[in-house]
Chain A
Amino acid sequence: MGAMLDQYREVAPQGTVEFLRQLGQRVEGKRMLHVNSTRHGGGVAEILQRLVPLLEELGVKTRWEVMTGSDLFYRTTKSFHNALQGTKQRITAEMYEAYLECNRENAKRLDLEADVAMIHDPQPAALIDARPEGSKWIWRCHIDVSTPQRTVWQFLRPYLVRYDAAIVSLPKFAQRLPLPQYLIYPSIDPLSDKNRDLTPEEVDQILARLGVPRDKPILLQVSRFDRFKDPVGVVEAYRLVKKSHDCRLVLAGGTATDDPEGAEVLADVQTSVGTDPDVHLLLLPPTANLEINALQRAATIVFQKSTREGFGLTVAEALWKGKPVIGGETGGITVQIIPGLTGYTVNSPEGAAFYAKLLLNDPDRMAAMGQQAKEYARHRFLITRHLQDYVGLMIALDQQGR
Chain B
Amino acid sequence: MGIRRADSPFRFVSCMELREVMGQRAMDEQRLLELIEEVPADSIYYHTHSYYLRHAYTQGLFPNDFATWVTLHAHDRMLGERLGILDPFEFDGIEQLRGEILAIMGEHLSHIKTVPRATSGEPFEFVRSHVIEADLGLETRTLREFRDALAHVEVGAIYNHVCEARLRKGRLSGDFADWLSVEDGLSLPELAARVAKVGCLGLSLEGMREQIVRLCDRELAAQ
Contact = CB atoms under 8 A, between A and B. Distances in A.
A352 B194 CA distance: 46
Given A379-B56, A392-B132, A15 B21 contact: no
Given A176-B23, A182-B18, A15 B157 contact: yes
Interface stretch (B82-90, B97-105, B133-141, B162-170): B133-141
Given A168-B21, A172-B125, 7 more contacts: A15-B14, A19-B16, A19-B134, A171-B127, A183-B21, A329-B122, A338-B60
A389 B130 CA distance: 11
Interface string B116-150: 00001011010100101011111000000000000
B95 interface: no
A396 B58 contact: no
B185 interface: no
Of the listed residues B17, B56, B58, B134, the one surrounded by the most CB atoms of chain A closer than 10 A to its CB is B134
Task: Rank and list the top 5 A-B pairs by shortest CB-CB distance, nearest first.
Answer: A15-B154, A171-B125, A19-B154, A183-B19, A22-B134
Given A14-B152, A174-B23, A183-B127, A372 B136 contact: no
Given A22-B137, A183-B127, A375-B58, A14 B154 contact: yes
Interface in A318-342: 329, 334, 338-339, 341
A393 B156 CA distance: 17
Contacts of B183: none
23 contacts: A14-B153, A15-B14, A15-B136, A15-B153, A19-B16, A22-B14, A22-B136, A22-B137, A26-B134, A171-B125, A174-B23, A181-B20, A181-B23, A182-B18, A182-B19, A184-B19, A334-B122, A338-B60, A379-B57, A380-B54, A389-B16, A389-B18, A392-B130
Nearest to A173: B21
A395 B155 contact: no
Contacts of A376: 58
Contacts of B134: 19, 22-23, 25-26
Given A329-B120, A341-B60, A379-B56, A19 B14 contact: yes
B20 A180 contact: yes
Interface in B44-99: 54, 56-58, 60, 72
A388 interface: yes
Interface of B: 14, 16-21, 23, 54, 56-58, 60, 72, 120, 122-123, 125, 127, 130, 132, 134-138, 152-157
B155 A15 contact: yes
Contacts, number: 83
A181 B14 CA distance: 24
Of the listed residues B14, B18, B120, the one surrounded by the most CB atoms of chain A closer than 10 A to its CB is B18
B154 A16 contact: yes
A351 interface: no
A97 B16 CA distance: 43
A13 interface: yes
Contacts of A372: 58
Given A14-B152, A18-B154, A388-B16, A396 B132 contact: yes
A11 to B, nearest CB: 15
A182 B20 contact: yes
Nearest to A16: B154
B58 to A, nearest CB: 6
A182 B19 CA distance: 6
Contacts of A19: 14, 16, 134, 136, 154, 156
B154 A395 contact: no
A15 B23 contact: no
A375 B18 contact: no
Contact of B123 (A25, A172, A176): A172
A172 B27 CA distance: 13
Contact of B21 (A14, A181, A379, A388): A181
Contacts of B58: 341, 372, 375-376
Contacts of B23: 174, 176, 181
A286 to B, nearest CB: 31
A240 B92 CA distance: 54
Contact of A183 (B20, B57, B72, B136): B20
A329 B122 CA distance: 10
Contacts of B14: 15, 19, 22
A16 B153 CA distance: 8
Nearest to A397: B18
B126 to A, nearest CB: 8
Interface in A1-43: 13-16, 18-19, 22-23, 25-26
Interface string A165-181: 00010011010100011
A15 B122 contact: no
A37 B135 CA distance: 37
B73 to A, nearest CB: 10
B152 A396 contact: no
A15 B137 CA distance: 12
